[in-house]
Amino acid sequence: MNRRSLVLSALALGFAQGAIAGPQFQEMTEWSRFFTDADAQGSIVVLDARGKSETTHVYNVSRAHQRYSPASTFKIPHSLFALDAGLLRDEFQLIPWDGVKRSAAAWNADQNLRSAMRNSTVWVYERFAKELGDERETAYMHKIGYGNAVATGDKPFWVEGDLAISSFEQIAFLQRLYRNQLPFQVEHQRLVKDVMVNEAGPDWILRAKTGWTGKIGWWVGWVEWPSGPVFFALNIDTPNRLDDLAKRQSITRGVLRSINALSTAP
């Protein structure tokens, strides 16, 4: 075997071993109490990148590998697509309301990127999807390796259709966004991170987005600390529908506080 063949064989072996090994994590069975106390079924992945090393903690490993519809957590990459395609210039550009009265009062007004993210305004992103078209949406998703990267099925495809992503994949996407490593302009990535801010303390910032399909609820994002970020991706079943939505944040906050990754303030 010549030198080139040896190198190729070694690379192939390395890739194969990496594929078999998969993500390294610590299973956190003790986190079951946060789900039990909330009377909820679900999973959470937390990647703690504070300090010089990274540690991934997981509750309900099998579910964390399972793909679900991303629902409104897809507004994070969708905003990047809209900016990259020139549908939006910045966070101040007015997105005119079409006058159709919808169930959420906050949706029944003109929007901008910040309000659309904060209010999870579905019609704004449905408009982006119409302007982009399924082919460009799919190309963008393949470009960033987002879940199964399909725009098929009922509309909106990120809620009612076939698009699906796992908690581990959510974390991988968020890491790349945090580091400005996605294939988009850095200023666009920084802008999307800015409109994701939920709250902040003297030395930390929480950036996150909720999602809900009607059956599955998500909360994904990260907490920035001077020593580094702590990423999280939680999903739960929501059999009680609206009555279950607050559990997304309460469970996640409990988990993060248990590892001193979030302020103890409510």
* Catalytic annotation, residues: 72
Q: Is 47 exposed, middle or buried, given 0-12, 13-18 or 19+ CB atoms closer than 10 A? A: buried
Contact 146, 173 (CB under 8 A): yes
Q: Which residues pair with 236 in a beta bridge?
A: 42, 217
Residue with tokens 């991706």: 233
User: DSSP letters of 77-102?
Assistant: HHHHHHHHTTS-SSTT--B---S---
Q: In terms of DSSP bridges, do strands 228-237 and 42-48 run parallel, antiparallel, or are they unpaired? A: antiparallel
Residue 110 to residue 97: CA distance in whole angstroms: 5
Show the 3-state SS of 30-50: HHHHHHHHCCCCEEEEEEECC
Residue 266 to residue 247: CA distance in whole angstroms: 14
Residue 81 to residue 146: CA distance in whole angstroms: 12
